[in-house]
């Protein structure tokens, strides 16, 4: 049996024959281009196999690219959200600064007579006593603040200085039940007195005859009587009038022009005629 499988040319001869055949075919193809059609055919047959062989690699590359892109998108989205939060915070701060700047501009542009000095003060605290309407500002005796000094905002009269410290002062608002201010009707100069009612949005006008020519909506200005508040500053606007013949006087209510529940910056006034010989007032910027 073994002699049968050992028959035939040896391996060396077969190798030499194969090499010679290969060299001959290469020369034949190079010289005569005899296998051009055959190569095209084999390339067409092998191309799908090559595509299938490369498909797993292409799929892995595509998946990896998508994972990288997805991770990049997540990181970029997180960074954009972070930047958006920071920018929104800055925007809110800018809006607040813009509002404060507008308030200060309106306050400093408040018409003031030429013989009146002025200085801006800022609210420090609000009295939590429900029966007393007082606030604390950041100006005191060092800045020349004195008791009874008028205080206004960009809308109208707020109140007057009640107590003075070295660096801060207490202001009594016009809405306090103990406060009263002489006023006149801007339309016809009728004089009356406006008193606080204990409510920030309501003032009381007492001892006005039924026949007095006053109307709802009339603007009340400081009259200058009493030498406390300069003349001509807005105080309140009449909101209701009740003429009950069973009462000796009309019941009149008014709303303060100043925004007493939203105070932030205030203006202190130094009328020259209110400064005594023993009291000096520091120079302040106009």
Q: What digits encode the pLDDT tens for the residues 122-155?
A: 999 998 888 889 999 999 999 999 999 999 988 8
Closest CA to 227 of 171, 146, 153, 281: 146
| Statement: residue 94 has pLDDT above 90 | no
- Tell the residue number behind the tokens 């660096």, with chain if given: 167
Tell me the C-alpha distance between 93 and 109, whole Å. Answer: 24
First to last CA, the chain: 129
pLDDT score at 183: 95
Mean pLDDT of 268-282: 54
Rounded alpha-carbon distances, angstroms, from residue 17 to 14, 26, 71, 91, 203: 5, 14, 60, 88, 125
Alpha carbon 72 to its chain's center? 32
pLDDT score at 286: 31
Tell me the C-alpha distance between 162 and 123, whole Å. Answer: 15
The CATH homologous superfamily for domain 117-270 is Rod shape-determining protein MreC, domain 1 (2.40.10.340)
Average pLDDT of the chain, as a whole number = 80
Tens digit of each residue's pLDDT (9 = 90 or more) over 57-85: 777 777 767 766 777 888 888 788 777 77
User: What percent of the chain lies above the pLDDT cut of 90?
Assistant: 38
* pLDDT band (50, 70, 90) for residue 274: very low
Tens digit of each residue's pLDDT (9 = 90 or more) over 153-174: 888 999 999 999 999 999 999 9
* pLDDT band (50, 70, 90) for residue 270: confident
DSSP 230: P
Record the tokens describing residue 259, joined without a space.
Answer: 């925004």
187 CB contacts (<8 Å, ≥6 apart)? 215, 218, 219
Tell me the C-alpha distance between 59 and 66, whole Å. Answer: 10
Listed in order, the ranges of the chain carrying CATH 2.40.10.340 are 117-270
């Amino acid at each position: 049996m073994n002699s049968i499988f050992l028959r035939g040319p040896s391996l060396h001869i077969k190798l030499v024959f194969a090499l010679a055949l290969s060299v001959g075919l290469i020369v034949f193809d190079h010289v005569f281009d005899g296998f051009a059609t055959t190569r095209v055919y084999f390339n067409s047959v092998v191309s799908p196999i090559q595509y299938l062989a490369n498909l797993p690699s292409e799929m892995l590359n595509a998946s990896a690219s998508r994972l990288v892109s997805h991770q990049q998108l997540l990181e970029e989205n997180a960074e954009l959200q972070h930047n958006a939060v920071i920018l929104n915070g800055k925007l809110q701060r800018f809006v607040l600064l813009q509002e404060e700047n507008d308030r200060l501009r309106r306050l400093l542009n408040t018409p003031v007579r030429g013989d009146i000095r002025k200085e801006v003060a800022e609210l420090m605290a609000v009295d939590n006593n429900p029966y007393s309407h007082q606030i604390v500002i950041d100006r005191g005796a060092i800045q020349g603040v004195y008791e009874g000094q008028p205080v206004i905002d960009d809308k109208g009269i707020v109140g007057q200085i009640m107590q003075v410290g070295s660096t801060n002062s207490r202001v009594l608002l016009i809405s306090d039940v103990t406060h009263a201010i002489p006023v006149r009707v801007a339309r016809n100069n009728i004089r009356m007195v406006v008193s606080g009612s204990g409510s920030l949005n309501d003032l009381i006008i007492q001892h006005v005859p039924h026949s007095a020519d006053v109307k709802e909506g009339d603007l009340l200005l400081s009259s200058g009587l009493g030498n406390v508040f300069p003349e001509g500053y807005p105080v309140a606007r009449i909101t209701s009038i009740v003429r009950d013949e069973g009462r000796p006087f009309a019941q009149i209510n008014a709303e303060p022009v100043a925004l007493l529940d939203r105070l932030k910056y205030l203006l202190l006034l130094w009328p020259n005629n209110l400064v005594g010989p023993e009291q000096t007032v520091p120079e302040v910027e106009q």
